Amino acid sequence: MKVSTYKLMFLLLAVTLSCQTKSDKQPDENVVSKPKITSVNYPLHYFSQRIGDLAIVASFPIPSDEDPAFFSPRSEEIAIFQSSDIIFLNGAGYAGWVDKVTLPERKFVNTSKSFKDRYLVEEGAVSHSHGPEGEHEHKGYAFTTWLDMKNAKEQAASVYATLLAHIPANESSMAANYQSLVQELDSFHLNLKEILDPFIGATIFGSHPVYQYLGKGYGIIIKSEHWEADQDISEEEWNSFLEKVDPTDLKLMLWEDEPSAANSSRLESSGFQVVVFRPCGNVPETGDFVEVMNQNIENLRQGIARLEL
């Protein structure tokens, strides 16, 4: 009798433990999965990370040595975009590869749609090579939209509205994160106005045609070359550049990265100030979007201060 009782108790305990184990493995219906976010450039990736924070899973599957604007994704990178819930696009023709691969358009969010009528047309088309992406042309629309901080602010607003629509339960924290980001973008805008307002209508130079929105947004004209930071500038290229310099132009040139010592020396010996102003299209080697833009602004401030006006 006792043996039968023990057997019954053992069976009941086994059934109870089995039920508990099954219950533990069942998903909690109240748990909401985090949306997967991918972006075609680093500024949008930063905005989504900054706003969504722990409520999202943000991926940026573009190698650090590639220019995201001319990136050609491989199958593994395409798969990451395909598995996303939201794909943030820059618009203005940025990342043309998006139109050449199979991606669900319902996931696309063009963050610059609100100022589509303000896209700037790229004048001329020059074919050249730089980085692993190889030869390409700058044509169609200028696309580094975020260098006008008013545009960057609208793009951040698009990211915020999209994330809020997907995860409204996180409105409180995301609203606080968004407002913090907006304050910093406003600060960049005011600093750029303070530096450049005295020179509205003046002409400066760019080593590459990526500063169109910076120029338009802050009232300056930028004559662009197609020079890479580490390239050897030929005598023909140098002489052609000097022919473009008008006596009324400000002798200041913006560079996407630190130019070689030879390039800096050549410019400085001709009275030019070299200013590193990184567009920050890809993840920076150090710091983040805010730190890079702060440094850009400081570099610009110092470069203008050194000008012989």
pLDDT recorded at residue 308: 86
* Claim to verify: residue 275 and residue 147 sit in the same structural domain: no
Confidence of residue 124 (pLDDT cuts 50, 70, 90): low
What percent of the chain stands above pLDDT 90? 83
| Average pLDDT estimate for 261-269 | 96
Mean pLDDT of the chain: 89
pLDDT recorded at residue 86: 98
pLDDT recorded at residue 123: 75
Asked if the structure places residue 78 within a domain, the reply is yes
Asked if the structure places residue 109 within a domain, the reply is yes
pLDDT recorded at residue 4: 52
Give the tens place of pLDDT for each residue, 50-97.
999 999 999 999 999 999 999 999 999 999 999 999 999 999 999 999
Q: What is the CATH number of the domain that holds 276?
A: 3.40.50.1980
Domain encompassing residue 290:
187-305
What percent of the chain stands above pLDDT 70? 84
* Claim to verify: residue 267 and residue 146 sit in the same structural domain: no
pLDDT of 115 higher than 60:
yes
pLDDT recorded at residue 269: 96
pLDDT recorded at residue 139: 58
Give the tens place of pLDDT for each residue, 203-233.
999 999 999 999 999 999 999 999 999 999 9
Asked if the structure places residue 27 within a domain, the reply is no
* Claim to verify: residue 239 and residue 259 sit in the same structural domain: yes
* Claim to verify: residue 166 and residue 278 sit in the same structural domain: no
* Claim to verify: residue 167 and residue 257 sit in the same structural domain: no
Asked if the structure places residue 42 within a domain, the reply is yes
* Claim to verify: residue 239 and residue 169 sit in the same structural domain: no
Least confident of 12-21, 42-51, 141-150: 12-21
Asked if the structure places residue 19 within a domain, the reply is no
> Do the Cβ atoms of 38 and 87 come closer than 8 Å?
yes
Give the tens place of pLDDT for each residue, 286-302.
999 999 999 999 999 99
Q: At which of 162, 181, 200 does a domain end?
A: 181
* Claim to verify: residue 154 and residue 116 sit in the same structural domain: yes
Give the tens place of pLDDT for each residue, 231-253.
999 999 999 999 999 999 999 99
* Claim to verify: residue 41 and residue 172 sit in the same structural domain: yes
Asked if the structure places residue 129 within a domain, the reply is no
* Claim to verify: residue 213 and residue 175 sit in the same structural domain: no
* Claim to verify: residue 175 and residue 46 sit in the same structural domain: yes
Asked if the structure places residue 241 within a domain, the reply is yes
| Average pLDDT estimate for 149-177 | 98
pLDDT recorded at residue 309: 81
* Claim to verify: residue 214 and residue 147 sit in the same structural domain: no
Q: How many domains does the chain have?
A: 2
Asked if the structure places residue 267 within a domain, the reply is yes
* Claim to verify: residue 107 and residue 208 sit in the same structural domain: no
